[in-house]
A = this chain, B = another copy of it.
Amino acid sequence: MNNVEQLKYVMKQMINITEEECNIFLNKTNLKIFKKGEVVSKPEVIPNEIYFINKGIIRVSIIDNEGTEHTIHFALENQFIADYSNFMQRTPSMYTLQALEETEVVVLPRTTVDWGYQYLSEGQKLGRLIAEYYFIYQDMRIKNTYILTPKQRYDRITDVFPNIHNRAPQHMIASYLGITPIHLSRLKKS
């Protein structure tokens, strides 16, 4: 029941929930710490956990048919992260989740998530708001790939991932932007 204060705060921001209801729910979670570089979640497995980051940073990546790795996302403190698509569809994950620093997470097993939908008085609403939050993020991302150049997206990356330049190597940032590290190097000069 310790170290869930951040998640408790986030939940109380999103829905009406009593201290007691919240505590019962959070009792069904557990804490986990990943070392720098450690893999949090592997592809080819049906994901059955959602993570809430207390401290640290998790990179989401995927490998294409040529074997090239692409960085899809960075997840920061006070955010939920999972291969959410495959979690919901109960299909094997395609993403790798990896801690870029020592990272502490609250683990929400599927049983806990389902319990929340069933028994928390505003559980469905919480789920809706979280899905909507990420929908808005993805919509902004998709929009930006259409209307911004890679350079412009690079210049604005700290809007979405503050301090990312001190927490992730440049080649991962380039990969997130969809360009090669060599090309990012070039863009920075101009």
Contacts and interface: CB of A to CB of B under 8 A. Distances in A.
Interface in A60-115: 62, 64-65, 70, 72, 84-85, 88-89, 94
Which of A85, A128, A140, A148 gathers most chain B CB within 10 Å? A128
A139 B141 CA distance: 11
A125 B128 CA distance: 7
A48 interface: no
Nearest to A65: B147
Interface string A4-33: 000000000000000000000000000000
A84 B178 contact: no
9 contacts: A62-B143, A70-B146, A72-B143, A85-B135, A88-B135, A127-B128, A135-B135, A135-B138, A146-B178
